[in-house]
Structure 1
Amino acid sequence: MSGPADVTDAAGYRPLLFSIAYGMTGSVGDAEDLVQDAFLGLARAHQAGTTINDLKAYLTTSVTRLGINYLGSARVRRETYVGEWLPEPVVVSADRPGPAEYAELADSLSMAFLVLLEALTPVERAVFMLREAFGYGYPDVARMIGKSEANCRQIFARARKRIAPRGQVADIAPPPARRTEGDELARRFFEVAEGGDLDALLGMLAPDVVFQGDGGGKARAIGKSLTGLRRVAQLIIGGFRRTRLLGLSVRSAWINGRPGAVMYDAEGRVASVIELDIADGVIQAIRSVSNPDKLGHLGPVSDVARLPEK
């Protein structure tokens, strides 16, 4: 039988468990709740005298199945969500390193990847994420979701087929060497955007660049994705002209393993978070989260972009 020491040892798996839970939910707060539930389940198992031979396997299985159950109830909320849905941003910056749970957050859990996962059923999402983002083999995936290896292979193939038309699955985890390039391009992007230089901005964006904004019906954001070089560039220039009028400042940060920034008002409250997808030396996509419900874990939330309540 496993002993009390295992409970202490379990704390070392918290970053991994948070990463899996966040990949399942797309929510920082809900991921933290699932991890806590997994630890409570472990404590109850100890009290019941349950033998646990592999603590890591026990906990990863627990948090994965909790995530599957969570998605069953979250599906209705997602279907009634106002506007574009983006995950809660995970922010790491020089002045905000974030909790220890963020340390092992897979770079592959970008906003783009998590949005793709929204097309999948809860079980498909678990199988695809565990294989594609965390590199688990089919025997481990089968154990974690309680199905056969053969079934998991079928589920993975079905999930990949469903995702393929919605976007590229490859290259979801850029190699670390590209971070220097990403930092520099992001710095120039925000500098040019704040300066209002449209021509310079056009040279930094991919021809089919996409802009997505998530206000959740509670903050100013575009209603649906915007595509096209000039249209997106003009939107960015106009948006940053407004931020200047509102007295917002921009601080560089890494958002879900991608370069980006956090925008603060004059009182230091979070107004929005921007993530940039960079490839081939240009910006392929820009994603902005201004929904106040998705920013609370970053600190006090600004009301400068909040829409009046109806």
Structure 2
Amino acid sequence: MSRADDEGYRPLLFSIAYGMTGSVGDAEDIVQDAYLRLTRARQAGTTVAEPKAYLTTAVTRLGIDHLRSARVRRETYVGDWLPEPVVVPGLGAGLTSGPAAGPAEHAELSDSLSMAFLVLLEALSPVERAVFMLREVFGYGYPDVARVTGKTEANCRQIFARARRRIAEGAREPGGPLAPARRAEGAELAQRFFEAASGGDLDALLDMLAPDVVLHGDGGGKVPALSWPATDRLRVARLLLGGLRRFRALGVTLSLAWVNGRPGAVLHDAEGRVASVVELSIADGYVQAIHSVANPDKLHHLGPVSDVGLRNR
């Protein structure tokens, strides 16, 4: 197999690394490190019969090491932690598109890696996260999960069962893959949702929000954001309308997009710089949860980042 063929595994490897870390930049570094290790192994005379297995194992174990070293930073994070968004511009024909989202492999990210799902994974240990994700998201059999993680097959079964219970206990928002019909429904509802929010239509917005809707905001302590998730449909609607009204006064515009496989939007300032990314969790015809990422450190992979958040204090 040629090195060009090896590159064909990059979308899968990125998805695994991103699912482990919740960070686009860290995922790219981990994938690059895995390819470098493969190159060095071959240069040392090692015969790698299954490059895909080699690379998957390297990425997963590097992800485990990364999570162990990052745990203290996560525990001291200011405010509500959300993953770095992966953006694919446009929700469908006739809808406004924004700028490109970065490397092409991001567009092939598994629909299972929604923000809500990645937040749930934060409750797991690094090894639990690896086992659960390989088995649940990517459909690996237990023998392969055992090989990748370095655990026994029986141990992997126990780890997966324990992780699944913990995820089920914390699950509230929809996080699974979207079927084509649900994607079309979600895109249409998202368009109406953002039109109502941008137009200041409180009644229309309330009609689209689930009674127990939750609003999450990640500013990382660097730009204004919610200190903890907001609940109550009326409060969430008013927060959205107030925030967008202030942004519009600063020249911010909104482009519809797929965010982590979910309907959403990217907000840009008057110079076209990224100000924020919003993802919607939609089920049963209502918006169940809203995830807004405004921390500038989590937006650099999308292009130049705006300072409008600082002006919006």
Q: TM-score, normalised by structure 1?
A: 0.95
Question: Which of 238, 255, 259 matches 2:259?
Answer: 255
1:34-53 deviation line (CA, Å, top 9, x unaligned): 00000010011101111211
Q: 2:64 aligns with which of 65, 68, 73?
A: 68
Secondary structure (helix, strand or coil) at the match of 2:139 reads coil
Instruction: Give the unaligned 5+ runs of structure 2.
Output: 90-96
Distance 2:175 2:109 in 1: 17
- Matched residues, number: 305
1:128 is aligned to 132
Q: Does residue 305 of structure 2 align to residue 293 of structure 1? A: no
Asked whether 1:79 is paired with 2:83, we answer: no
Secondary structure of the corresponding residue to residue 253 of structure 1: strand
Which of 26, 31, 34 lines up with 1:35 in the alignment? 31
Shift of 1:164: 2.1
Alpha-carbon displacement from aligned partner over 1:87-118 (angstroms, at most 9, x marks no partner): 00000114426422123210000000000000
Displacement, 1:163? 2.1
Q: Compute the displacement of 1:307 (Å).
A: 7.6
Gaps of 5+ in 1: none
**Counterpart residue number, 1:9:** 5
State the secondary structure of the residue aligned to 1:65: helix
Distance 1:207 1:119, change over 3 A: same
Separation of aligned partners in 2, 1:156 and 1:267: 47
Instruction: Note the 1:134-173 alignment, pairs <5 A.
Output: 134-168=138-172, 172-173=176-177
Secondary structure of 1:222 counterpart = coil
Normalised to the residue count of structure 2, the TM-score between the two structures is 0.94
Question: How far does residue 168 in structure 1 lie from its aligned partner after superposition?
Answer: 4.2
1:227-238 paired onto structure 2 within 5 Å: 227-238=231-242
Q: How far apart are 1:218 and its partner, in Å?
A: 0.4
1:242 maps onto 2:246 in alignment: yes
Larger mean CA deviation between 44-53 and 216-225 belongs to: 44-53
| Shift in Å, 1:16 | 0.7
d(CA) in 2 for partners of 1:170, 1:195:
27
Moved beyond 4 Å, runs of 4+: 168-171
Deviation string, structure 1 residues 234-282 (Cα, Å, up to 9, x no partner): 1111111111111100000100000000000001100000000000011
Note if 1:115 corresponds to 2:114. no
Shift in Å at residue 169 of structure 1?
Answer: 8.1
Name the SS of the counterpart of 1:288 in structure 2.
Answer: strand
Structure 2 Cα separation of the partners of residues 168 and 129 of structure 1: 18
Q: More relative contact order in 1 or in 2 (CA 8 Å, sep 6+)?
A: 2
Alignment-mate amino acid for residue 158 of structure 1:
R
Cα distance in structure 1, aligned partners of 2:211 and 2:185: 19
Q: Is the 8 A contact 1:220 1:307 kept in 2?
A: no
Letter in 2 for 1:260: G
Per-residue deviation at 1:136? 1.1
Structure 2 counterpart of 1:212, one-letter code: H
Q: Which of the numbers 41, 52, 55 marks the counterpart of 2:51?
A: 55
Q: Report if the CA contact (8 A) 2:275-2:307 is conserved.
A: yes
SS at match of 2:100: coil
Does the 8 Å CA contact 1:218/1:307 hold for their aligned counterparts?
Answer: no
One-letter identity of the residue aligned with 1:218:
K
The sequence identity of aligned pairs, in percent, is 71
Cα root mean square deviation, aligned? 1.6
Deviation at 1:18, TM superposition (A): 0.5
Evaluate the alpha carbon distance shift between residue 269 and residue 97 of structure 1 in structure 2; reply closer, same or farther with a 3 A threshold: closer
Classify the secondary structure of the residue corresponding to 2:215: strand
Q: Deviations over 1:31-80 (max 9, x none)?
A: 00000000010011101111211111111111001100110101011011
